Chains A and B, each alone.
Chain A
Amino acid sequence: MTDANAQAPRTSLFAPDARTARRNNSEARFRLFGLISVTIGLAALVMLLSSVLFNGTSSFRQTMLELPVTLDAKVLDKKGNRNPDDLAKVTTIGYGRLISDALDKAITDNGIVVDGLTSKDVKDMISKEAPAQIRGRVLANPDLIGQTVSFQVLANGRIDGYMKGRVTLETAERDSNVSVNQLHLADALHEKGLLDMPFNWLFITAPDASELRPEAAGLGVAILGSAYMMIIVLVLSLPIGVAASIYLEEFAPQNRITDLIEVNISNLAAVPSIVFGILGLAVFINFVGLPQSAPIVGALVLTLMTLPTIIIATRAALKAVPPSIREAALGVGASKMQSIFHHVLPLAMPGILTGAIIGLAQALGETAPLLLIGMVAFVRDYPGAPPEGFFDPAAALPVQVYNWTQRADPAFVERASGAIIVLLIFLVIMNFVAILLRRRFERRW
């Protein structure tokens, strides 16, 4: 008698025995786990992006009051000589009064009645930033004085929040910064078409604003600062990276020094980004004495971070050019340098540029090292024109996001998410260009 005969006889070949069923079940389970994992990964991506989009898209619209403002010459130009120096003496308070008068007039003209509305309520409908903006317009164009000009005036941040659903009548009762009457007034103005939400160009062009004026905060300085940094990073890291790769890939002898360089590069690629920030602070700011929060310092740090990425991509691109190209060039009498610069490098260029763009995209989103070199500072002035402007204080897109998340007013969460959308749009464009380059020009040998 063998063990096999001791088992119960099987009824049918088609009915799996218990062990097979168990094995098949475990197979199905394993597959399911795999599928669930893939789903989790994709769901995480969708949640991440939709969270940002959900919170941020509203920042591209801004509540504005459409008001005909009478630029009274008696208030703005007491001497009547249109002298810019005298005009500049009228502060924003004077302009603020003109705007609130205009709003008062608009309310009575349109027959809007809200019970218990005080004049302070009306005045606070308008953003504290609005007078400054109109003052800027008038100083730039004194001919406006004496006319009644239709302005789009920024509404207060809480009114903006109400229009976007962030502030409700219930929260307004508990909020000392906004009254329920103001919200009723906003509804009435909206009905009459005086209060609207046009596309928010100021969000993209205006500089940052103070903690109390989220409605006026914009990305202008940050975008400019990031652009400056990207220009310097590209100008520095592409030539240096390509030169280093050419040496390592084509010329370097197999020795200790070459090994050292290679190990260094692969290590630098894995060093945490904040360590580069420490390097920037210690070397570029404390030792060399470059100014804090200047694009040049940020760019130097980001260049050092981007170099390994570019070098690795360039070496792969150079390696992909078949040796027959080099040999053919050498065969017709070119020197080694000529064969590389005239033949190999142009053929490797699409790969190199793709790597460079991906490196730049990484650099654009990098935040931590920039925090350490002082780019968190509050900067309201646009940096000057390059190259001197590279040394002026500026902000950077990702740092601006971080900055806004540190502020108390919830309106800044919307701004931060909006800024991320802008950042992601830039990244998508850059990656799209990289993919296009690769598709269009990459050769398979």
Chain B
Amino acid sequence: MSLSLLILIVLALGVAGYALARARVTAQANGDRRRLHSLIGYYGHTVFLFATVPALLLLGAWLLLQPVVIDGRVSSMLQPGDIPEGGSLSLVMSDVRRIANGLDTLVAQGQLTEAALTTLRTETADVRGQLGSVGIALGSDVQTNVLEAAKAYRGQQGTAQAVMAAVVLLASVLGLALSYKRLSPDFRARNVFESFVKALLIASSMVAVLTTFGILFSMLFESIHFFQLYPAKEFFFSLTWNPQFRGGSSLGIWPLLWGTLYVSFVALLVAVPIGLMIAIYLSEYASKRLRTFAKPAIEILAGIPTIVYGLFALITVGPFLRDYFAQPLGLGTSSSSVMTAGLVMGIMLIPFVSSLSDDIISAVPQSLRDGSFGLGATQSETIRKVVFPAALPGIVGAVLLAASRAIGETMIVVMGAGAAAKLGLNPFEAMTTITVKIVSQLTGDTEFASPETLVAFALGMMLFFFTLALNVIALIVVRKYREQYE
């Protein structure tokens, strides 16, 4: 039974429950709706919810857990000898899944009957060729155990699907029946319905908490896994980053951290003065016309996807800097460099700094400015000596937020900063960052359980805590400042 059909049936049961409930309470009240505790719709809604929500939740949970359980049972069928040299269990398991899918297609196309499938042997039939004919290309011949595992996988998958459909339908019918039985004119349908809805609301608000836990635990588990394979001391103190396919890599975080901080520093060097001056000019000097035009125009920069900035760095800024600055000055020949990424990222950060600082500068009370003017200060003196110091904590918060953006930014550095991990000072040289290496280690072809892949999780963990710390500090600073003038 297909998933969409199952969902439709459950929903249909819910709608039927709604109609049934209305009919039943109307009959019980002899058609006099005034004798009902709640408005008649609530009886229907209640039954609808009980018939659908638990069943759909069950369906979701089942779909999440089914692959885990089946994988576990099937992979125990495989012998250590089935795993080829240099391969891993997860690779063999993905073959098993693909073979099982291929067998499904073969059966669906009628090239193979169920009976023939049970007697299918690798010794007697060209399984690989048959699978190839339905678009499942395998790297090597199918081994006996793998084929058996695939058959078992297919069988269990089928059984699990059937059981799932049965269980979900049962839950739906059960929910419908139980709530239907409780119906009577005195049944406090509105209260029950509202408690149910409130529970759903609470559950929704828990999604954010679950996400955070998901992030923390997924990175924690894989990081621990990584540190079991690779010494933590090396990771935190080694000065070289040099992953190797065949093991023996050195995975020190310092070159990446240096690249990240260097690029972010250049970006902030661009964004902070420009963004701050924009905020000051627009809030203190600009005519209303310029402000209504320039403020949204600059905020458009914040709405442009980072991939656009990445492309801009790659095809315009990078070659420009190389041809007009790096090569004439003899500083390098690479179009991807710290400068390229930093400059473009700085442009991206301008609206963050400017709109946050704008809010903060506007929040400085007018009386401070008036007092300063009254003492004979010029406007720029007022801004530099009165407004700016008063707004400083908030501006620091804005800069910290921008810094956390810069550290976590990925696409611009992937396309603009290069991939060479080194500790250097030349801003026209290619360097690399934490985010670039997370992408390259996780999109490569290396085996998942190797330290070269798992290091990405440790890097992600560092990144997460880094940005988290910056954000928390920024929030505290901003909050403290707000209290001052309210």
Contacts and interface: CB of A to CB of B under 8 A. Distances in A.
Interface of A: 23-24, 26-27, 29-31, 33-38, 40-42, 44-45, 47-48, 51-52, 55, 239-241, 243-244, 246-248, 251-252, 260-261, 264-268, 270-279, 281-283, 286-290, 304, 307-308, 311, 335, 337, 361-362, 364-368, 371-372, 374, 376, 387-388, 398, 401-402, 405, 413, 416-417, 420, 423-424, 427, 431
B169 interface: no
A13 to B, nearest CB: 15
Contact of B286 (A29, A38, A251): A38
Given A272-B467, A368-B410, A371-B443, A387 B415 contact: no
Contacts of A34: 277-278, 280-281, 285
A240 to B, nearest CB: 5
B25 to A, nearest CB: 19
Nearest to A46: B297
Given A37-B274, A268-B208, A251 B301 contact: no
Interface in B284-322: 285-286, 290, 294, 297-298, 300-301, 303-312, 314-316
Interface in B200-256: 200-202, 204-209, 211-212, 214-215, 218-219, 221-222
Interface of B: 2-4, 64, 67-68, 71, 190, 194, 197-198, 200-202, 204-209, 211-212, 214-215, 218-219, 221-222, 273-275, 277-278, 280-282, 285-286, 290, 294, 297-298, 300-301, 303-312, 314-316, 347, 350-351, 354, 378-381, 383-384, 401, 404, 407-411, 414-415, 435, 438-439, 442-443, 448, 456-457, 460, 463-464, 467-468, 471-472, 475
Top 9 closest A-B pairs, CB basis?
A272-B408, A365-B305, A34-B281, A289-B67, A282-B218, A37-B277, A243-B204, A30-B380, A368-B410
A272 B212 CA distance: 13
Given A30-B384, A271-B408, A276-B215, 12 more contacts: A48-B309, A48-B312, A51-B316, A240-B204, A267-B212, A278-B438, A281-B442, A287-B218, A361-B303, A367-B307, A371-B439, A405-B310
Contact of A41 (B212, B298, B311, B415): B298
Contacts of B273: 37
Nearest to B401: A270
A367 B475 contact: no
Contacts of A35: 281
B190 to A, nearest CB: 7
Given A27-B380, A44-B301, A273-B410, A288 B311 contact: no
Nearest to A405: B314
A420 to B, nearest CB: 5
A212 B82 CA distance: 38
Contact of A274 (B383, B404, B439): B439
Contact of B311 (A307, A366, A372, A405): A405
Nearest to A423: B305
Contacts of A38: 277-278, 281-282, 286, 290, 294, 298
B interface secondary structure, majority: helix
26 contacts: A30-B384, A34-B278, A38-B277, A38-B290, A41-B275, A41-B298, A41-B301, A41-B354, A48-B347, A52-B312, A240-B204, A243-B205, A247-B198, A264-B211, A264-B212, A274-B439, A275-B460, A279-B215, A337-B198, A367-B411, A371-B443, A372-B443, A402-B415, A405-B415, A417-B311, A420-B311
B225 to A, nearest CB: 11
A55 B282 contact: no
Given A38-B281, A52-B311, A266-B475, A45 B305 contact: no
A308 B311 contact: no
B381 A23 contact: yes
B220 to A, nearest CB: 10
Nearest to A56: B311
Given A271-B467, A289-B67, A427 B439 contact: no
A424 B312 CA distance: 14
Nearest to B315: A413
Nearest to A239: B204
A244 B298 contact: no
